[in-house]
Structure 1
Amino acid sequence: MTSQQENQDPNLSPDSVPTQAERERYAELVDLVQKYRAAYYNEDAPLVSDAEFDLLYSELEKLEALHPELVTNDSPTQTVGGEASVAFAAVEHLARMYSLEDVFSLAELEAWLRRAAGSVEKQHGTAPQWLTELKIDGLAVNLLYRDGVLVRAATRGDGTTGEDITHNVATIKDIPQRLHGSNFPAEVEIRGEVFIASKDFAVLNEQMVAAGKAPFANPRNSAAGSLRQKDPAVTARRPLSMFVHGIGARQGLHTETQSGTYELLKSWGLPISPYYKVLDTLPEVMDFIASYGEHRHDLIHEIDGIVVKVDDLATQRELGHTSRVPRWSVAYKYPPEEVNTKLLDIQVQVGRTGRVTPFGIMEPVKVAGSEVSRATLHNQDVVKAKGVMIGDIVVLRKAGDVIPEIVGPVMALRELQDPPVREFIMPTHCPSCGTELAPAKEGDIDIRCPNAKSCPIQLTERVAHLAGRGGFDIEALGYEAAAALTTGPGPDPADNGGLIAPAGPGPMKSEAQVFDIAQLDLSGVVVWREVRSKGEGTGRFQQVPYFYTKPTAKKPSVPTKTTQKLFEELEKAKAAPLWRVLVALSIRHVGPTASRALATRYGTMAALRQALLAPDAREHLANVDGVGSIIADALIEWFAVDWHLEIVDAWAGAGVLMADAVDESTPRTLEGLTIVVTGTLPNFSRDEAKEAIITRGGKASGSVSKNTSYVVAGENAGTKLDKAESLGLKVLDEDGFVRLLAEGPEPELETETDMEEDA
């Protein structure tokens, strides 16, 4: 954030006298910002999302720019972070820990960089280099080393005084108790960020839920809470990591650049981020921001922005600081991925295997670039573990920029809700067909609708699934088309909260008919469409034909172009490889990986069905690489059901091939090898790469382990590549992968020890 003079809006007149309303709003903003800041820094329990806090803080800054006479020394804009907690001893930093100025648009960032560059050029005649790095979403920590030994660790606190967390930091394996090498400064403060890696956070929350505890809302809160445990043994059990990103007080230490300082810190055994670059131009900085914006969920840790610093330390000293931020560094914050919204209701949906899943219906809110009004809650145990109640203000985020997820309630706001919040009660009967719900097996957490054959919504889900990319890949048969074929239109969405509910069977009674859709009577199939006026929705809905055109006085109703395309795609799908047919059958646990393994082993549906009849079928199936006992049991159970076999027979009767042509020309070059493909390959899709491995006798795995034979790494390979390198595995680029497919592995060279043993 900027100083008052720098942050003035040119459209505001700083000479005007503040009105009473402005004074009252200013006092309200000061109270809110201080309250929310204390909750975030001192209690690790944020009351609002980062985006909402930023908006309030920005409004406060603008009021202060308009009316500087309102500003006092204890204004939130003149102070840093929170205060030291009374639960830990207060310690003073040798050098102040500053906050960073935040900007929220690329235009603001460009203006800041041009202003800073202009100041440097005026002084030195040359433009600065920019050290550009990721802004870690963690907890700022200050490490004090004397003669190379860690003597104290503290939180940032208010920038001058922090909390002594030395004993807890000593449990973090990334942080050396003694620096490597020799000739250290007599005294040096190392600044960095403590965080929990994304993959470790997922595992930690799974453990919390399994133990019957509420999961953490996000990695930042988890890391902060872990560092503030009174018992260091608790901290030691948390998967904390740290990257260092600067130096405070430095007695007898002289470096010339920020990047050079990083390399020095690395040589001392301190962990530095792998995600930084020194860049020369503004366009390079913008490219850096765009690249990590696209791949922010492929990283080791969560980020909320990019930090840009002048790399030259002498220039940093010349530019100096305002009362709270350096003039040589700025933080660009990506659009928010966590927001707050109201949980209006919790309803349930039934999946293709009968699993009943609660989902939240929320006041629509924009997150990660799109409007969201629904989010999954997985099962009734997760609803309890998250502690959410209908009517709560909840924290919402998008996992991987794709899947909306309710993180948890904002507890401090619960008592303020009107009407009061209420508990979610899991239904006892299927909302689609009315059948009593129950776990599929004793001990299962999930409950299911056992009426798989006749439940309308299960049929809808199965038809949509078989047409998906993992199944027959029928583009013209999306979810809406599947619903129209199987369930028909529900009540008017205007009377149903905007939701379309199933209301009786459509013309398709079973997925056995999917390749006979052209023979079904589709002319009367209708769906709900919102009436639009001048391109805008009106909130009113009407039923319109889905598969046929609307008849007019001059033209009768005929199949639409999309319907004609559907017929054509269904014909093409009959030649799909066997693994796609197996995926399309919606056999529990049988996804693309297991299906490919089964297709490679048996080659035809007839051979697989024959194998299932053998007395030792379970043992043989379980021994197929990529199958195992759970999938073997699922296959045996599925093929034992008469109406399931009717689907397979109907598809075969309609002309679905169900057999893979054996290509004797494809060499089995990868027999016994396990290969992981990660990142983007220019000439192979992920499915094509897996197919190439499996057809040559190899195993296409999704995880890296010491048993992995090769890792094929494309662009943006991420953590799998990091793990492969840490294990010393063989890593190939695309050219090496192509050679491996054609020639197999190179023979291992005999060592002198081998030859001596042979002798």
Structure 2
Amino acid sequence: MTTSARQAAERIAALRSEIDAHNYRYYVLDEPTIPDAEYDRLFNELKALEAEHPELITPESPTQRVGGAALSAFGEVRHEVPMLSLGNAFAEEDLREFDRRVREGLADQLPAGDLFGGGAEVEYSCEPKLDGLAVSLLYENGVLVRGATRGDGSTGEDISANVRTVRNIPLKLQGSGWPARLEVRGEVFMSKAGFEQMNARQLESGGKTFANPRNAAAGSLRQLDPRVTASRPLEFCAYGIGLVEGELPGTHYDILQALKGWGLPISRELKLARGVEECLAYYRNIGERRQSLAYEIDGVVFKVNSLAWQRELGFRAREPRWAIAHKFPASEELTELLDVEFQVGRTGAVTPVARLRPVQVAGVTVSNATLHNMDEVARLGLMIGDTVIVRRAGDVIPQVMAVVLERRPADARPVRIPEHCPVCGSQVERTQLVRRSKSGRANVSEGAVYRCVGRLSCAAQLKQSIIHFVSRRAMDIEGLGDKIVEQLVDSGLVSSPADLYSLSYEQVVALEGFADLSTRNLLASIEASRTPSLARFIYALGIPDVGEETAKVLARSLGSLARIQQALPEVLTYLPDIGAEVAYEIRNFFDDGHNRSVIARLLEHIRLQDEGEVHAEFAASVSLGDFLARLEIPFIAATGAQKLADKAGSLEGVIALSQDWLELSQLKGLNEKARQSLREFFAAPANVARARAIERQLLDFGMHWSCEKRVVEGLPLAGQTWVLTGTLEAMSRDQAKARLEGLGAKVAGSVSAKTACVVAGPGAGSKLAKAGELGIRILDEEQFLALLAEHGLGV
């Protein structure tokens, strides 16, 4: 071996050792010591060296996880020690009966009970039962040589090529002292966050989505092409052993700790419990935290901890007498779709709702489930009479996840959207999405939502719109609950939100359930709502797709109701987080004559607060280059648009230049296609008129490049997205949100890769778990209060 080859071999060995150590800290200890960028540098250096010296590549190298050529079929693996299933406990009494049988079976081994008659207690290991696919990993002399599925318990499938792609399965064991042959058993699963991200990628690419993380994990691990498996976010958790040739500790708990020391991930929820009462306490604790865990579980597994006692208890049929799975109530069940009915919401959206044969799902009787919209009905291929899989997780509304096609009856009926509103009889129309093509033309496509066109003449829309208008986060009119709103509408006293401000004492006191004091309280609450902030008022109007945060963006950015009403869709898209679809919804809402009439009537009764100028952040914020790029002229991207802006200096200059072929041909940076496209674009009068209209509005709003730029006062959290989860003790969630917004942050309801920080109070759940998975900064309440105090916003 030459000197350079020897040096490469030494460096490769050192890199593998270092990378394996970092994988152990990351996947097993959850204590990474280097940033991702440094890990990537080491990994890429190893890949480069192995590419230069392919003769030095070994199967256990960290680089060998990408998957090789596709297989034609899986081979069979006969388990030398059968992979048996566990017995199940579904109720507390079942677990107590299991413990009684264990103690009976160990009567000769257990110490005598106490003087007061209490029996001796058995020590159990406890861990969550992951909802994935059981696999077996065989290590020989510390090197992974085979992976297999459980199969029927005696024979499984050889998935060696696929398990090698799972990032947290060590290809070579860490440390020393492992048996010469060691079969590790565990579960391959997919975290909730990984599942969501994978399904999102599948949707983007037009691929098949999975119903739940378990199906996704099982389907990913049984791909004939290992490269597909390598692309999926799979994880492994060891829960036991099979074949062993060598020495291991004498308890199940200590064996798992040894596996952890050798680089295999084990459950962070692993605990020991003495006696059945401690087991039940563990089960209840995990059950309460189930939704906040980063992965799906369907129960808890209890195992007699002593291996000697396990051998004493032995097996019964195809399951051990020393272990049991205490299952949670099922979160998925089969039932029959009896019918599909349609509900009408406040924006007129006509939404299908599944009426189901009642079934127990996760401990709750479910008879209805959401279907979202008709596109979802089509995606599921749903027909009335079908047997369907219904899923319920925590407090989430039950969903129909899939159809069991093989059980479809001969008389199954298609689901059809009604032509007329089921409440008012008005026409039901499919929404239209308007998009500008690159040629400047408006393209109309069908949306996913069907709407009743009856607007406030539809009782359902009127009631829902008023319920939304008076809600706490909108106009905050206390005392106007759903039933009272229904009374007001049904009695004819209220036919629009503006009518609330004309209610008299005599009209209210005559309503069912009202007396003198409650009437005066309601009228006082209505009176107190006459001076809302602009953001509250915009949100209260119930514009489709405009939630509380978007309403705040509109109010803060444009500063007045008049500007928001006038704003063109193209101008609205200059504001943060407002895309084309929402911009057109806003424009369509204010273009509607009925909506304008209701707003005019409301303004006779209320006085908006906080109105002012366009925010300084947007003063003279639009450059000519950006303006031209946003016109979406074919073949003219940002660079070309800027060259046009630099050359022409104004919109009128660009329009003139577009028709001056000689001058345009001398402009460097635009090719022939781009020049021809520019000429054709501005040769169309409609495009010229549209561009000039947008420019006029930018001038009116002070956003035009020629306007005076104002100084923006810096806010410490400007541009950051924060998330609040759990219960804060020093202040309400709304107060915390207001303080964060005062520091410039946007407060979102869900955690994503763009989240800057999560504030987690007691009882924090899945958002905290997801933040931990994504490596997002997390503050507890004490740290959050300290941050606020630093900026003068203490409690």
In 2: Cα distance, 1:382 partner to 1:133 partner:
37
Retained in 1: the 8 A contact 2:723–2:747? yes
List per-residue Cα deviations over 1:164-202 (Å, max 9, x = no partner).
222333333332333334443221111111223223334
Asked if 1:589 is matched to 2:540, the reply is: no
- The answer for the alignment partner of 1:335 in structure 2 is 329
Specify the alignment match of 2:652 in structure 1: none
Pick from 402, 407, 430: which aligns with 2:421? 430
| CA deviation after TM superposition for structure 1 residue 109, in Å | 1.9
Percent pairwise identity: 40
In terms of mean alpha carbon deviation, does 625-634 or 558-567 score higher?
558-567
Shift of 1:306: 1.4
After the TM superposition, which of the residue ranges 350-359 and 311-320 deviates more from structure 2? 311-320
**Which residue does 2:147 correspond to in 1?**
153
Provide the secondary structure at the position in 2 that maps to 1:176: coil
Question: 1: CA distance between counterparts of 2:158 and 2:518?
Answer: 66
Separation in structure 1 between the aligned mates of residue 295 and residue 516 of structure 2, nearest angstrom: 48
1:94-109 aligned at under 5 Å gives the runs 94-109=80-95
C-alpha distance in structure 2 between counterparts of 1:317 and 1:211, whole Å? 52
Q: State whether residues 435 and 450 of structure 1, in contact with CA within 8 Å, keep that contact through their aligned partners in structure 2.
A: yes
Match of 2:665 in 1: none
Is residue 238 of structure 2 the alignment partner of residue 244 of structure 1?
Answer: yes
- The 3 A distance-change label for structure 1 pair 282 and 580 is farther
Question: Is 1:675 equivalent to 2:735 in the alignment?
Answer: no
Q: 2:431 aligns with which of 398, 415, 439?
A: 439
Aligned to 1:421: 412
Q: Give matches, 1:197-596, under 5 Å.
A: 197-205=191-199, 215-280=209-274, 282-415=276-409, 420-431=411-422, 432-441=424-433, 442-443=444-445, 444-472=447-475, 476-486=479-489, 488=490, 506-517=492-503, 547-548=511-512, 567=523, 569-571=525-527, 573-574=529-530, 578-596=534-552
Distance 2:561 2:500 in 1: 22
Structure 1 counterpart of 2:79, from 93, 98, 112: 93
Q: By how many angstroms is 1:693 displaced?
A: 0.6
Task: Give the direction of change, closer, same or farther, for the CA distance of 1:137–1:727 in structure 2 (3 Å limit).
Answer: closer
Q: Is the 8 A contact 1:622 1:629 kept in 2?
A: yes
Alpha-carbon deviation of 1:745?
Answer: 11
* Match status 1:737 vs 2:737: no
Summarize the alignment of residues 745-756 of structure 1 with structure 2, pairs less than 5 Å apart: none
Q: What's the TM-score, normalizing by structure 1?
A: 0.70
From the superposition, tell whether residues 627 and 121 of structure 1 become closer, same or farther in structure 2 (CA, over 3 Å). Answer: farther
Aligned pair in 2 of structure 1 residues 472, 331: CA closer, same or farther (>3 Å)? farther
SS of the counterpart of 1:739?
helix
Task: Tell me if 1:609 matches 2:561.
Answer: yes
Of 164, 187, 197, the match for 1:193: 187
Aligned position for 1:172: 166
In 2, Cα distance between equivalents of 1:141 and 1:481: 58
Q: Secondary structure at the match of 2:109?
A: helix
Tell me, in whole angstroms, the C-alpha distance in 2 between the residues paired with 1:598 and 1:659. Answer: 12
Q: CA deviation at 1:464?
A: 2.7
Aligned to 2:7: none
Which AA in structure 2 matches 1:688?
Q
Deviation at 1:472, TM superposition (A): 4.1
C-alpha contact 2:344 2:460 (8 A) present in aligned 1: yes
Compared with structure 1, are the counterparts of its residues 692 and 311 closer, same or farther at alpha carbon in structure 2 (3 Å cutoff)? farther
C-alpha spacing 1:279/1:583, structure 2 compared with 1 (3 Å): farther
1:104: Cα distance to partner? 1.0
Alpha-carbon contact 1:258-1:311 (below 8 Å) kept: yes
Deviation, 1:743, is 0.5
Structure whose alpha-carbon radius of gyration is higher: 2
SS in 1 for 2:183: strand
The one-letter code matched in structure 2 to 1:445 is: A
Q: Any idea what the Cα deviations from partners look like across 1:697-730, whole Å, max 9, x if unmatched?
A: 3332445566654332223545554555566554
Cα pair 2:294 2:770 within 8 Å, conserved? no
- Listed as ranges, the gaps of 5+ residues in structure 1 are 1-85, 489-504, 525-546, 550-557, 662-666, 747-759
Distance change >3 Å, CA 265–CA 411, structure 1 → 2: same
Moved more, 289-298 or 142-151: 289-298
CA drift of 1:239 comes to 3.3
2:556 and 2:191 map into 1 onto residues whose CA distance is 37
Q: Tell me which amino acid in the other structure corresponds to 1:592.
A: E
Q: Which residue of 2 aligns with 1:46?
A: none
How far apart are 1:141 and its partner, in Å?
1.1
Say whether the 8 Å CA contact 2:501–2:605 is kept in structure 1: yes
- Cα 1:650–1:695 shift into 2, 3 Å: farther
Aligned twin of 2:705:
none
- Return 388-397 or 219-228, whichever deviates more: 219-228
Which stretch shows the higher mean deviation, 157-166 or 270-279? 270-279
Q: Secondary structure at the match of 2:375?
A: helix
Residue pair 2:505, 2:519 contacting (<8 A) in 1 also = no
Question: Aligned equivalents of 1:408 and 1:615: distance in 2?
Answer: 43
Shift in alpha-carbon separation, 1:199–1:469, aligned structure 2, 3 A: farther
SS of equivalent to 2:286: helix
Superposition CA RMSD, Å = 3.7
Q: Which amino acid aligns with 2:589?
A: W
> Which residue identity is paired with 1:508?
V
Which has the larger share of helix? 2
Question: CA deviation digits over 1:458-487, x for unaligned, max 9?
Answer: 22222233344543455654445444544x
Q: Secondary structure at the match of 1:438?
A: strand
2:757 aligns with 710
1:515: how far off? 4.0
Q: Offset of 1:118 from its aligned partner?
A: 6.9
Q: Distance in 2 between matches of 1:745 and 1:693?
A: 12
Shift of 1:332: 1.2
Change beyond 3 A, Cα 1:113–1:216: same
Q: Distance in 1 between matches of 2:328 and 2:519?
A: 42
Correspondent of 1:644 among 582, 595, 620: 595
Number of aligned residue pairs: 601
For 2:744, the aligned partner's letter is: G
1:437 alignment partner, SS class? strand
Distance 1:372 1:268, change over 3 A: same
CA distance in 1, matches of 2:177, 2:462: 72
1:538-590 C-alpha deviation (Å, 9 max, x unpaired): xxxxxxxxx426xxxxxxxx669977765565455556655443322111222
1-side partners of 2:724 and 2:281: how far apart? 26
Distance in 2 (CA, whole Å) between partners of 1:461 and 1:214 is 36
The separation in 2 between residues aligned to 1:205 and 1:708, in whole angstroms, is 20
Shift of 1:87: 6.4
Secondary structure of 2:285 counterpart = helix
Superposed displacement of residue 96, structure 1: 1.8
TM-fit CA distance, 1:671: 4.6
1:294 and 1:222 mapped to 2: Cα distance?
A: 25
Give 1:343 deviation, angstroms.
1.0
Which string of whole-angstrom CA distances, capped at 9 and with x for unpartnered residues, describes residues 511-538 of structure 1? Answer: 23234455795799xxxxxxxxxxxxxx
Partner of 2:738: 691
How many angstroms apart in 2 are the aligned matches of 1:575 and 1:645?
19
1:731 deviates by: 2.8
The one-letter code sitting in structure 1 at the alignment partner of 2:548 is: P
Q: Give TM-score, length-normalised by structure 2.
A: 0.67
